[in-house]
Chain A
């Protein structure tokens, strides 16, 4: 504020001095960053009070008195520069951004802070890092970018769900979703589509993001109290900057490709395998039976010899079903933005179009967005802002999200028996498919249809009023509308629609979130050394969801595809749910000479989800920091540039449970004989209350050698107390679970971030960013001194709880299974270890041991950027280590066609036991008893089919070239960049399934893709 006053005073003096003698000097002040003019820069004649400010085009005109020959040009955030006039009358000045003085600014709870004053664990990801990545939602782009933040795509659906865990998994049954805030509007990231996954965060074009801050420790997040237990991700979108209108055009296009095709058996190979299985099972007609399994047994088979039948089997053809239904897809993206303004009003307007196909067509994603951001200084004291994001997303839905449905191409493509032709000779679909997967998935894919449309509006309006120069009040109202409309049709020409002559389903889901936040900010500096600031606020959030849905069957013909055309309704449904939250919060900051930093925060929050007497909770935090580099003994150090020690403790809350979980309810259910039924659905718990996260964080931020080497180290201990656990109730008492506050969980870990400028010489630079996280997740205690949860012994004291796949799903627990001991070399029988480490064929429940979980304890990212003149090369790796997963798709393949007539992996079949003495892990093939030995456990039992999901992935490679701005000016272009980019080009993993990165059961899920793009960016 003082600066503004000073500037005003200076202008006053300037006009007074204009009467003096002198000469007129004009010029333009531009930014060294982008070459654009800088409006509002101060131009002062050195040694005088004569000065002016640049206009919207960065131009100035100044009367310079005789004898003065130097101008001082300054602008906030840039290094002030002196320019000697000499005998020039036009003086153009290029200002360079002043990184050292300004420092990085971090968005924190309800405000911003210079990075060097931050005392909590906060990771910041700038928008330019994720710029132009062909991903549909920004959460996906966070993978590997920040320590402590683990990101996994649920699957390869474009715009699908993303699993994001900040510092581990903190809850068994309550949600583990971080709080996402876009421009002050708190979002719900649950994907509520019925037929696909419609990630609500996909409403925002990732290129509209200025920065993302991740508040990781409870102390930083505690100001958000009730929703902060799983961390907070604050998204700041791009805003307008004053100056003449600047246009940015951005386009990229390319292809998606499957990362992998599974190497499965061919027709004759499968026949051979099956014939051998019949022989092993003592069958007297192995050739005939194997052919019969494949629906290739000739009707006159009894007249044929075994050798003749064998010849038929060996002559069977092979068709590649995977390559028929999987393949390359298109992707493209176009966007145009314009921003600018004057000293009172700035604006940013952008529009974008994004399209991407998955590797399983027609599954795709198509989005259009429009974004407007306005800021207006109504008076010196009042600032008005608004930001409105509109998006519409259309997705062609998959047959199913996952599951072993015959018609699901992602399931059947690798498992259908390979001798089945896809097309008849006349080009029609072959519908006589031998084997258990008796559907032609290419036909099914062709005839079925379904579409999900998601319309989103996220917007806010805010007013900031300066009550005093050091006291301001800000009011914000925000809205988050999310409307999903979808329909799906099972065509009567496909097997699933044939029996019912077509089945159409329609659904809607309308979510409305309202938020209002009111804050007061105050700060004051005493004696130039004591900085004190405080914030107080109140917030109210309300969310309601409702929808209607219906299904009908019996359609006149397949051309009728909408739910109203079905003669027979199957169901008509609808739902309504909602909750409210409110809270008051405050924080106080004190710093002494910017050396010693202290912050306390507290929030008192209430949620409608809890019991009548226990709705409210208190969430305090304290943080302290010591800027060691500011101490006298280091101030002059040439080695140490930055060094800050941080410590924090905080408590945050989690209320991500069902909206009515505390209530004892009767719900509809159990209709009988067409008459309505109702039944008790939940038990009341009037004392149900907050699950709390208390975390201790110790951190060290460092910068050495003029910040050529920067980074941070964190250690933390995050404890979840009073877990919102679905405590099992004995089924004999009529219920399954009751939500209760019992048990304790710990995530403790270590995070390391290192950013280096390896070379920066002669226009060539090489920068590296590396991060590493280790998190140990374990249950500390349950209830009643239990060592494991009766309903799920994988949830056990001392063991990891695993990673829940989707919001609302329970954490799966650790693998608690019998350890596989391989195959008996003498007989080919699968063996397991019993609890005494003896071999058994039939392991019991008592033989189970803990064998890890699907939550990777080690993960991170590694980025390299090379620049030379206009060229740049980025190579970004992500990695995960230590997760143990069960991949349903692989489990089916690992059966090696023994239980069901399904295709098999070549590498599995090659390892099958065939002769005594062979040491292997795949049992001999059998046909009897579902492919298993009598009185022996199933071949996939215990740990036999568990997989290590470790991987290192080249997540991104970008090669770009930026044209020299001076060459472009004549074309009216300020900036031009072309680039080529590849995503997921290479993965190092010892993984037999499609891809180690997925969440959920793995069966029939669309896997992630490789993407290739080329792009163009223009600024004018």
Chain B
């Protein structure tokens, strides 16, 4: 019995031992590739890195990586699809739901939240930061927030110059989120409704004006926000808003800066062959091979089957989306055999007219087996690695066209026409003499030619309430058609009772 007792007391000790071990053993394991969100942004390096991420989100497929250029142009009347990889066909046919993607909404709002978190932190202060840094961070972040909101609102909502209302509810703008989410409570409870279109544009104005005030004109380079880039973007936003005076004045200011250089007949095409287009006032930089979107969805792959211009036989991308007859007509493009044998893709090029922009088109290759097509080569691995091209967001030429269009609406037709003709001269075209509606049409036509395959056309039609008319494929989308607007992602509508879906979805 005695022995048993001692055993039981040993047992008890053992159990107490367990209990002690249990409560004292450290179950804390910390990640080594991530840091705690609390305090992540209170160093200058942290803010720098957080802002880089916001820039980085411009690069993804759903934004400038592809969709804001290629998908937008596929929706419009710029080109046709080849079925080489099957991409962009639905969009080009304006099939219901084939439109700007859920990823566009998701990625843009994630970027906006990151911008809001940076701005929240800047308000609290960043230990060790200089006044210049604080100004730059705030200016760049507000530029980015304005750009993301502008891209969202121009896609998901009608544009102030042409709001379709008859018989339907105007679903308004998009939700405006101006403070960051970093807690569970806020993430699960904030259910912001759509702001009005006007509220969204006011916010974009406010952010851009703040950027212009905070940033130096040239900033850190054209891959980053600068005062000039903010001014140029303001000109475009004002143009969309029908605020013609601002559009014109901002264009004038932007043109007066040292950022970007409008190219002419001699250097237009060569500008497109440089890694940084000299016209760029703001571009999305693809610096490393790892930043390229690769063979399937990069802009180069979307537009051409060529890998490079040196050897047309090298297998490149898919060449899914190519010029339609309208574009071919603009530049006098037709296949031209320049050597023998015909089976060698290098023995083919195109005929061109005097328009210098025709130099950006040539024949592709037959490596993908779907025939040799005439393709756009605006994106052609200019950065020295496959599918690596910087993506111009604002080219300085746009400022001339913005100002010409704004002046037309302001009643300054003479100035408008002069600017248009000066611009045409830069592209190797003769002057025109037109007035009134014909002048406006001529300006829009020039925009069409200049920005083909850069994602402007769909919105230029949309902001004038004009229908999309296509022969190949044979699709007409009238302005009253619900397919002018994309669906808001269903999960957002399902999860937010305050969010109205766009008409027709």
Q: Which residues of A contact B (CB under 8 A)?
A: 292-293, 295, 299, 432-436, 438, 467-468, 471, 495-496, 498-500, 518, 520, 536, 538, 540, 553, 568, 570-571, 575-584, 604, 606-608, 615, 659-660, 663-685, 727-736, 738, 740, 788, 790-791, 793, 842, 845, 899-901, 928-930, 932, 934-935
Contact = CB atoms under 8 A, between A and B. Distances in A.
B83 A900 contact: yes
Interface string B15-36: 1001101100111110111111
Across chains A and B, which 9 residue pairs bring their CB atoms closest together, nearest first? Answer: A734-B113, A670-B53, A670-B56, A677-B52, A790-B495, A790-B494, A677-B53, A664-B37, A679-B53
A500 B388 CA distance: 12
> For the side of the interface on B, what is the size category?
35 or more
A578 B34 CA distance: 13
A671 B186 contact: no
B11 interface: yes
Contacts of B307: 499
Given A538-B21, A673-B287, A674-B287, A790 B491 contact: yes
A685 B184 contact: yes
B253 to A, nearest CB: 26
B432 interface: no
Contacts of A438: 315, 367-369
Contacts of B31: 576-577, 659-660, 663, 665
B428 interface: no
Interface in B310-346: 314-316, 342
Contacts of A432: 369
A678 B93 contact: no
Contact of B53 (A498, A604, A672): A672
B45 to A, nearest CB: 9
A436 B52 contact: no
Given A666-B36, A928-B473, 7 more contacts: A436-B370, A495-B315, A670-B57, A678-B35, A680-B117, A683-B183, A733-B113
A499 B314 contact: yes
B219 interface: no
Contacts of B191: 730
B27 A607 contact: yes
B465 interface: no
Contact of B56 (A669, A738, A791): A669
A515 to B, nearest CB: 14
A941 to B, nearest CB: 11
A568 B289 contact: yes
A728 B83 contact: no
Most chain-A Cβ atoms within 10 A of its Cβ — which of B22, B31, B117, B190?
Answer: B31
A816 to B, nearest CB: 11
A575 B314 CA distance: 37
Contact of A538 (B18, B40, B93): B18
Contact of B34 (A471, A666, A930): A666
Contact of B386 (A499, A571, A667, A679): A499
Given A520-B14, A680-B117, A790-B494, A582 B27 contact: yes
A735 B114 CA distance: 10
A295 to B, nearest CB: 5
Contacts of B348: none
B209 interface: no
Interface in B387-407: 387
Contacts of B110: 679, 731, 734-735
Contacts of A727: 188
A667 B105 CA distance: 21
B113 A467 contact: no
A468 B496 contact: no
A601 to B, nearest CB: 16
15 contacts: A438-B368, A467-B7, A471-B7, A553-B289, A582-B22, A664-B182, A664-B183, A668-B33, A670-B57, A677-B50, A679-B50, A732-B177, A734-B109, A932-B95, A935-B96
Contacts of A685: 184
B496 A730 contact: yes
Contacts of B55: 670, 672-673, 677
A729 B188 contact: yes
B340 to A, nearest CB: 12
A582 B223 CA distance: 51
B427 to A, nearest CB: 30
B132 interface: no
Given A670-B53, A671-B52, A679 B289 contact: no
B19 A584 contact: yes
Contacts of A582: 21-22, 25, 27
Given A299-B342, A666-B40, A570 B109 contact: no
Contacts of A540: 25
Interface of B: 4, 7, 10-11, 14-15, 18-19, 21-22, 25-29, 31-38, 40-41, 46, 48-50, 52-57, 59, 83-86, 89-90, 93, 95-96, 102, 105-106, 109-110, 112-114, 116-117, 175, 177, 180-184, 186-188, 190-192, 223-224, 285, 287-291, 295, 307, 314-316, 342, 366-371, 385-387, 473, 475, 489-492, 494-496, 499, 505
B86 A666 contact: no
A336 B369 CA distance: 55
A606 B496 contact: no
Contact of A738 (B14, B27, B187, B287): B187
Contacts of A733: 109, 113, 177, 181, 186-187, 190
A470 to B, nearest CB: 11
Nearest to A496: B295
Given A680-B117, A733-B113, A571 B290 contact: yes
B23 to A, nearest CB: 9
A540 B27 CA distance: 10
In the complex, which of the residues A670, A683, A934 has the most CB atoms of chain B within 10 Å of its own CB atom? A670
A536 B288 CA distance: 58
B40 to A, nearest CB: 4
Contact of A728 (B46, B287, B371, B495): B495
Contacts of B56: 669-672, 677
A932 B86 CA distance: 12
Contacts of B342: 299
A763 B35 CA distance: 71
A672 B46 CA distance: 14
A664 B495 contact: no
Nearest to B110: A734
A721 to B, nearest CB: 20
B346 to A, nearest CB: 16
Nearest to A553: B289
B385 to A, nearest CB: 7
A295 B27 CA distance: 64
A538 B182 contact: no
A738 B50 contact: no
Contact of A930 (B90, B289, B369, B371): B90
Contacts of B26: 580
A676 B315 contact: no
Given A499-B316, A680-B117, A731-B492, A930 B86 contact: yes
Contact of A842 (B96, B114, B315): B96
A563 to B, nearest CB: 14
B32 A576 contact: yes
B50 A433 contact: no
B181 A734 contact: yes
Nearest to A432: B369
Contact of A674 (B182, B288, B370, B505): B288
Contacts of B499: 732
Contacts of B187: 683, 729-730, 733-735, 738
Contacts of A499: 295, 307, 314-316, 386-387
A483 B4 CA distance: 48
Contacts of B184: 683-685, 738, 740
Contacts of A584: 18-19, 22
A436 B182 contact: no
Contacts of A581: 27
A665 B53 contact: no
